[in-house]
Structure 1
């Protein structure tokens, strides 16, 4: 397959225009400027003052100071980000940006060293995995117009987890052990060695404990091997392989209203409910420094992810506010006792994808102007096999027994099989021109994808009618434009606009009623137009500030409502983000430091602009899971003897759980508002003198506040008080 050819001549011309060069310029012997260092695993450039959009960087020091229990708590301090903490340990994370649905982070592009992390980046962008903070060197959060270089999910923003580097000066290693309440234990160990020729690094992580709800214990482990080889003074090869395993007793269904009132942390079927995941990845990056003016980097990746979930309750609160056993309604309400007497539903799903992406970074002086250009493309191949098996027999609790019913029709047996094959070609180009105090950055991205969906089984019956198979082809041109002004020292004013894009979700476009009746709809991708205007500044040493105004217009948005997904028409989101930090030790030139750090998001509007009659959504209604106010404030103290202490609060205002803006709670708990809540957190670190050991303790929800986190598939409580302490030793 020839993947370097653009789908249309117009697209080829658009890309060339975006980088500010003519087709002959790249081949001509033109004057170029020296190319700065390019980090092939980071998504932000080295020269941050020219970035024409809002971003945030959380470095290793920040991570060690916060000692967050999971990545979710770490990201709560970034303005514009809304995290729904319905799970534990960051498993199945829910991250939303600027009013977009946070469910499984499907509207936020998650990357590790530039590699997508979703189950299926195009076909099923659900985040059941994020890079453990123990392996992370830097977290990059990008919400501005520079997103044309990445995809496919670009309607909200991007988060890139840059992993820790391979050692370069001999042997390095560390071991961190931690324990906490709720039977939590964790260990993270790393060892590596390297020199000027390259090196290797091995990371081992093991965590287990009890979850938010009773019987929701979890056990996760990960092994990662990363190597780097300097082939010569111009070529570097980096490779990484990783194996992640999760075994959790997590009920994907929440509680009905009566159950929640009795005990919000109960999970009657939790002992039998399961979520199992095995994730194997490989990533290779080759960098060729052609000269001091151009660098070619090529990335290849492969991901094999198998996940299987089992649930015994499918509809919460279906019996006067209490849940009943799926397939075993005759047993009455769900309890631990009758859960042992019933089967349920297994949903095994297999995902594989791979891709290759060459990218050329070049500095040039076209037309006498200093420029930095990026040209690249990516070919991505993705397959999915989605199955479902169900039965009342308690032997269905065993996955092997349940999957032995493959091909069996009816209410007991093989309920669903959907095979999805996807090819995606992406082309992108961007050029930054530096004109005095101005940096001007036009860019364009082209997404050309084909989704082949084959519904082989639906509603427990075989499907072989013509409508059960569909090839959905889409080509989208996604331009972006940004500008930054640095006319005042240590201050950047920026503005930008870009087209956002989210591919159609094939698993959501299917309806069936009996054998040979399946219909796959040919839906269009979601598209948005994202605007922002902001300023970031360091007015004096010890003070940093940032303010951003944003506006997003959405066409054909897809939202989730009571666990279903449907088209919500046009929406609009706008608001303001504020962030800042004051280090009084720097201001007063003292050895110790008291600091105040805060962020605030005011989502003034997050509303539907069109009626959706079938869903009781009216124009002007507020979007679900889009709180108007998000705030984070942290007060800390750092002493030169190695002690630092921090206390903070996170606030989330009231939210609607559905597009109809229902305020009266129904029996299932899926409708109604989600009240506002404020959570207290704290951390304490101590590393005495030149000691290789450091000690820490951290707490989330320190006041043990009871709060409602989500109404998706029923009421789900947020995590209670979680305290974790430990020791880290470097060698």
Structure 2
């Protein structure tokens, strides 16, 4: 094992040492890293310099922390950024809230604060964000992209600098790149000096937690060529059910060193999650569901949950300790050559414990079970860019290429307690089944942005993925096995600025999503190699700022995905969540976003603005069968929303006032491949209805340093089915938070 880890370090060290050379780097005032323009003696006046893609261009920079250029106007693909200013204005309580104005994005919260992640892009299933490559500073935070891509973690909002969303075409990131990539960017140590203290209190309707609270503090300091970030965030809050209580403590730090030649950033953190949470949900009639609403404990006593013991649901917990670290090194070989290298690793220990429905007579006589999972991932990534190379006839191009090696380790254990033994993170009970899964992956990509004319760029590229997975079942040795996969993923994209500040973009890319390994076994026949999920993805769109005060972005997208894996809802005839595979699924859709600001037409200190986002996805099962061999061709893909929208009306004033209202439509979706309708006699089955939700936020700068703020979600306290997994789960009740933020420069 140690030899494998040494290979990761050697991979990065070799790339850094081979190309160590002079460079220049400085920090942009906003906190984002900006590369300084370097004079090219004797070169053309418009020659690009190393790292110019960080500012503007058809492709993003090679520094994986920043997926997209600062200016997206001429970018050759569909992309959005939630900027630091957007985060300050919107005051999102969760990462889900922060994505509401991203076209193509939809979210479903499995808890009050989006910790148990549910992000969808372009019709992908939202549960645990399994079909989206979710990253933090360019490093995946999916549990394991090659073995089990779900995640119960996203970083706290208070330490984020921005969020990049890239939907394609793309070859520079993968796997899980059929639907798109989300990258959360932490505070950079190269930003302006600041110290921030923030605290908020509030409540969630229907929760036992009487008072929610959030707290945050961070400082960013610079000393000559050294920058430091230290951050703490914490939360205690209620959830969707009265018995749920959510809590985390998050510690993050980064140290950056800059010189004339290079910059080095060492970052990492520890996230401690302690939730009173389980995955048992309501079973019964719709009338009973509405009767008990968020009262899980009383509904359990009435027999609407697997365990007819309301107090027992206070013993069920989800716990996680998540450690992560990254070393990132950026170099400029010369005025047109940039190298970015990083090594990284994470250790995610998560365990969920619950009272078993096999208990004889809880709470006096009970048995607890657990799902105990440990994920460890290590990797190294090195990328290089050669800017403004001559091609032919005065045409230039910018070449980017990269290599990445990763190792994944997944220990999957079941736990069982003795009679009347309470299990928790410190007392995990006896081992009741163990699987050990590993993956080794090697990936490489190359793309070149060809500047055919000053306004027209074409970007051909290709990605190569090679990975090997191994599975060992300690209870069923006959299930042991391993598989190796090799896949080429081509891409072709373009950007054409048909008029000043109006760009037509589009293209094609092939994507890859490895299947979840723990659910592709058959104990009768032994190990069955999981299939590759391969997609052909096309899109064409336009973005413009040509009309004063108006920004607009619209795109049509189409995806054909083979061997499409999805999770059935926990329905009674299945007994557990089952991951099935469809021969082929198709997604056709349109995504639109626009914003209009009055300030463009007046000299008033007031700005009234309106913002709208709408996504339509027509998902279809082209070929496939459901449980029992039923042909489901022509049905909609489970957990794929057809309509989502967000409409915002706001006002801001130069004095520091900012207030807005948002109406968010979270569309209907089916939870199974059979497309069963909503059953009022059994609310855990069938289609989930769409719902409009009202939210609002406001902030005011009391002084130069002090800001007062308030934010509210589901203000009309709509009661609705949020998701249907192991029964029906209600959406989070009315949640209001208010607080103060003190910021010193």
TM-score clears 0.5: yes
**Structure 2 residue aligned with 1:542:** 549
Determine helix, strand or coil for the equivalent of 1:395.
coil
Partners of 2:629 and 2:724 lie apart in 1 by: 17
Q: 1:309 aligns with which of 349, 352, 356?
A: 352
**C-alpha deviations, 1:407-442, integer Å up to 9, x for none?**
xxxxxxx1x210011100000111101111211001
**C-alpha deviations, 1:235-263, integer Å up to 9, x for none?**
11001010000010112121112463441
**Structure 1 residue aligned with 2:443:** 426
Query: Residue 329 of structure 2 contacts residue 341 of structure 2 at CA under 8 Å; is this kept in 1?
Result: yes
Partners of 2:584 and 2:239 lie apart in 1 by: 38
1:690-705 mapped onto 2 (5 Å cutoff): 691-705=704-718
For structure 2, the residue ranges without an aligned partner over 5 or more in a row are 12-42, 55-60, 205-210, 297-309, 570-576
The answer as to 2:275 corresponding to 1:248 is yes
For structure 1, the residue ranges without an aligned partner over 5 or more in a row are 6-29, 313-324, 332-337, 407-413, 458-462
Partners of 2:680 and 2:696 lie apart in 1 by: 36
Query: Residue 72 of structure 2 contacts residue 79 of structure 2 at CA under 8 Å; is this kept in 1?
Result: no
Determine helix, strand or coil for the equivalent of 1:121.
coil
**C-alpha deviations, 1:677-707, integer Å up to 9, x for none?**
100000011014x520001001000111111
The answer as to 2:470 corresponding to 1:452 is yes
Q: Which moved more, 1:564-573 or 1:300-309?
A: 564-573
Partners of 2:340 and 2:732 lie apart in 1 by: 43
The answer as to 2:353 corresponding to 1:277 is no
Determine helix, strand or coil for the equivalent of 2:673.
coil
**Structure 1 residue aligned with 2:197:** 175
The answer as to 2:565 corresponding to 1:558 is yes
**Structure 2 residue aligned with 1:198:** 226
Determine helix, strand or coil for the equivalent of 2:150.
coil
1:467-506 mapped onto 2 (5 Å cutoff): 468-506=479-517
Determine helix, strand or coil for the equivalent of 1:507.
helix
**Structure 2 residue aligned with 1:366:** 391
In structure 2, relative to structure 1, the CA distance for the partners of 1:543 and 1:192 (3 Å cut) is same
In structure 2, relative to structure 1, the CA distance for the partners of 1:131 and 1:664 (3 Å cut) is closer
Determine helix, strand or coil for the equivalent of 2:85.
helix
Determine helix, strand or coil for the equivalent of 2:289.
helix
**C-alpha deviations, 1:611-653, integer Å up to 9, x for none?**
4472534211011222221110000001111111101100123
Determine helix, strand or coil for the equivalent of 2:510.
strand
Query: Residue 546 of structure 1 contacts residue 580 of structure 1 at CA under 8 Å; is this kept in 2?
Result: yes
**C-alpha deviations, 1:501-555, integer Å up to 9, x for none?**
011321111233xxxx682211211111111010000122310011100111010
Determine helix, strand or coil for the equivalent of 2:239.
coil
CA RMSD of aligned residues (A): 2.1
**Structure 2 residue aligned with 1:619:** 633
Query: Residue 49 of structure 2 contacts residue 335 of structure 2 at CA under 8 Å; is this kept in 1?
Result: yes
**Structure 1 residue aligned with 2:69:** 45
Following superposition, the deviation at residue 590 of structure 1 comes to: 2.6
Partners of 1:574 and 1:168 lie apart in 2 by: 41
Q: Which moved more, 1:375-384 or 1:387-396?
A: 387-396
**Structure 2 residue aligned with 1:441:** 459
The answer as to 2:595 corresponding to 1:581 is yes
In structure 2, relative to structure 1, the CA distance for the partners of 1:108 and 1:530 (3 Å cut) is same
1:32-71 mapped onto 2 (5 Å cutoff): 33-37=48-52, 38=54, 40=63, 41-46=65-70, 48-71=72-95
Following superposition, the deviation at residue 397 of structure 1 comes to: 3.0
Partners of 1:209 and 1:199 lie apart in 2 by: 33
Query: Residue 368 of structure 2 contacts residue 421 of structure 2 at CA under 8 Å; is this kept in 1?
Result: no
Q: 2:358 aligns with which of 327, 344, 347?
A: 327
Partners of 1:677 and 1:297 lie apart in 2 by: 45
Q: Which moved more, 1:647-656 or 1:280-289?
A: 647-656
The answer as to 2:110 corresponding to 1:75 is no
Partners of 2:546 and 2:465 lie apart in 1 by: 41
Following superposition, the deviation at residue 661 of structure 1 comes to: 0.6
1:212-361 mapped onto 2 (5 Å cutoff): 212-230=240-258, 232-258=259-285, 260-267=289-296, 268=310, 269-312=312-355, 326-328=357-359, 330-331=360-361, 338-339=362-363, 341-361=365-385
Q: Normalization by structure 2: what TM-score? A: 0.86
Query: Residue 504 of structure 1 contacts residue 523 of structure 1 at CA under 8 Å; is this kept in 2?
Result: yes
